[in-house]
Amino acid sequence: MTFNISSPNEAFDCLLDFLGLSGSDYIHEYYIECDADNNRFLEKHSDKLEAMDLEDVAFLVLHVTSNYDQCKNIKEHGVKNLQEVLSEDTPLNNFLMVHGLTFDVQAKRMIWNDLEYNIDYDSYRDKSYNLSKIEKNIKEIGRKIYFDNQINGFFYTQDAKKYGTNIHLYPEFLFTISNLAPELSHIKDEWSAKCQGYLLYMLVNFNQLAWYSFACYTDKYDFDDDKLDNWSQLKNWMWSLAIDVANSNISLDKYAYMKQNTVINPDQIMDVIKINS
């Protein structure tokens, strides 16, 4: 089955399909019998939640990107994490090379204008109070590559363009690079001027998602304990969220984070939609 809560209509259809209800049945059960109480309603269908196998679920995730090749590289090779993007022949890596920036991800080195810099994030983490301005900026580059390098997306968003870092215009990494030095301050604007933003509809397997994609958990131990309970906490969170989206009773984006080594293969990309600036 596909867990698709990308819009209220999609969430409503997904919910009805999973529970085997008609629209009128749902309205009667949820609003009349259960007094619009998510927990009461889901308890009424606890047998279906218990029987659901998360290994058989494909999660619809919305991913925002931008590029100047009409997503040709993505359609051929899939969506990859930042470490792989900076190690391969990709639009972003080629763009950075034009601006004198190259990365040796394995060696944890960045070369800019023929000067080599250490971008090992761990080597900067304990020196927060003794770093120069350029070292603080390099530390942030290292953090993006070695700590925050995973593919991100949305289970649900009202408007991806309102995400705070303008991800429909340029990669977040370019914002980080633009802070390195005044001569690089324009780099994100140059990218956005030549690129088109896209919204990708991707089907992601449960095992590709990081545990912190699921807001029902406080930590990894909580996630592991729920596995022993047939994922009851997660299933209730999923379908309660589906109810809230279907009923347009939600205002916050719901994020989906991939595990750091995840690659979204081309056959997992269901659709590519242009985003108007």
pLDDT tens readout for residues 83-141: 999 999 999 999 999 999 999 999 999 999 889 999 999 988 877 677 888 889 999 99
| % of the chain with per-residue pLDDT over 70 | 100
Asked whether 268 and 194 are in contact (CB, 8 A), the reply is no
How far is it, in rounded angstroms, from Cα 189 to Cα 170? 8
How far is it, in rounded angstroms, from Cα 188 to Cα 177? 8
Paired tokens of 58:
């494909």
Per-residue model confidence as pLDDT tens digits over 173-229: 999 999 999 999 999 999 999 999 999 999 999 999 999 999 999 999 999 999 999
For the entire predicted model, the pTM comes to: 0.94
Per-residue model confidence as pLDDT tens digits over 62-80: 999 999 999 999 999 999 9
95: part of which helix (H) or strand (E)?
Answer: helix 91-98
Phi-psi region of 198 (alpha: psi -120 to 50; beta: other; left: phi over 0): beta
Q: What is residue 267's predicted lDDT score, i.e. its pLDDT?
A: 98
Q: Is the per-residue pLDDT at 161 higher than 90?
A: no
End-to-end CA distance of the chain: 33
Mean pLDDT of the chain: 95
Q: Is the per-residue pLDDT at 165 higher than 90?
A: no
